[in-house]
Amino acid sequence: MDDISPLNGGYKLTSAEILYTPPDQPHLLECFVWKDYDSAPDYPELRRFLTFWADHIDIQLHSVRIADLDQPRPDGMIYAAYSNEIH
C-alpha cells in the first residue's frame, strides 16, 4: 500500500482471518491471517487481496472474519490472563 495511514480516508488497522481449502487436500481447512490498513465497511484493500487470490491461486474460500481497530496505541492494549494452544 502506498501512503495510507489510519488518518487518511478513514483507514484503520484491519485483520482478516481467511479460512480456505487447498485444492490438493479438500478435507483440510487452512487459515491465513491478513493485516493491513483498510476502510470499513467496504474494505477495498481486503477485496483487492481476495480478488488476487481468486484469480491467481487455486483455492476454495470457506470464510473471512474481519476485525478493525480505530486507534492502535500501547495504553489501549489488553493482555490475556490465560492462553492455551491446541494442536
Report whether pLDDT(77) > 70: no
Cell of 19: 479460512
Of residues 17 and 10, more confidently modeled: 17
The architecture (CATH level 2) of 12-76 comes to Roll (3.10)
For residue 81, what pLDDT band results from cuts at 50, 70 and 90? low
Global pTM value: 0.70
Cell of 40: 470499513
**Would you state the pLDDT for residue 52?**
94
Task: Fill in the DSSP letter of residue 8.
Answer: S
Of residues 73 and 40, more confidently modeled: 40
Of residues 84 and 73, more confidently modeled: 73
All structural domains of the chain with their residue ranges:
12-76
**Would you state the pLDDT for residue 34?**
95
- φ, ψ at 18 (rounded to 5°): -110, 115
Can you tell me which residue has the cell 481447512?
A: 29
Q: Count of residues for the chain?
A: 87
By the 8 A CB rule, do 45 and 78 touch? no
